[in-house]
Each structure stands twice: as C-alpha cells, then as structure tokens.
Amino acid sequence: MDNYPQVHEESQAIVLEFALTREQPARQPIRIVLDFGQQGEVVGIEIINLVFAAEQNCLQAIRETISADRQGLRFSYDEESDCLYLRLREGKSLFQKAVDGFVFFDQAGAITRLGVDWRE
C-alpha cells in the first residue's frame, strides 16, 4: 500500500487508485458530483449513497491509504447521509457538475479504483 493512493489526471478525466488487486475487479457505474475551483480544476469528488450502492466494506482501501490529516488528497465519509467526499487539492468549490463515473471493487467489496471522464 506504500505507492497508494495514486491520482491520474488529464484535462477532463480523473482516476484514483487505492489498491492493487490481482483478481479481476468488479466494475460498477456510479453517479459522481465534481466540485470545481476558480481555474476550472477539480478540487473535490462527492459520491452520495455510496454504501447503499456498494457494500459496507467499500471504504476499507480508502481508509487504509488516505489519512484524514494528509496534505493534498483527503477524504471524509458521513454515515448519516452516506456521502463520501474526496478532496483532491486546496481550494474553494465554486461550481459543481454531476457526471457518471465508475468504481472497481476487489473480492472483499473494497473500492480499489474510482474514475470519471466528463468530456462532452
């Protein structure tokens, strides 16, 4: 887990990897809300109803690779609203866009990869 998380960004696509998996991961589409900063950069990613759409165990790899007090990439999860928030960088969210993304799960149900492409 030393090399994780990994963030791969292109002009209008992001992939976050939280763990390497040797087995064929299960892919699931999911609705994602992107938070954009002043320069049009993605500052955060929100997934609402994550555990409802996935499994209770889905946050395991994220919790193991991202510390709550880490600089740069951070996460928070609100159980009451079942909302995951990944902060990619410092900055204020000035506008949001809901897009279709995907998550990959390992056999234990933990998210190993998350991606979104919002090119039109």
Alpha-carbon gap, residue 65 to 63, rounded angstroms = 6
pTM, to two decimals: 0.86
Domain parsing of the chain, residue ranges: 6-117
Alpha-carbon gap, residue 76 to 1, rounded angstroms = 19
CB 62 within 8 A of CB 70: no
Residue type present at position 31? R
Alpha-carbon gap, residue 112 to 107, rounded angstroms = 10
Interacting residues of 63 by C-beta distance below 8 A, sequence separation 6+: 75
Predicted confidence pLDDT, tens digits, the chain (120 residues): 568 888 999 889 999 998 887 777 788 999 999 999 999 999 999 999 887 777 777 888 888 888 655 567 888 889 899 999 999 988 899 999 999 999 998 888 888 999 999 876
Length of the chain in residues, anyone?
A: 120
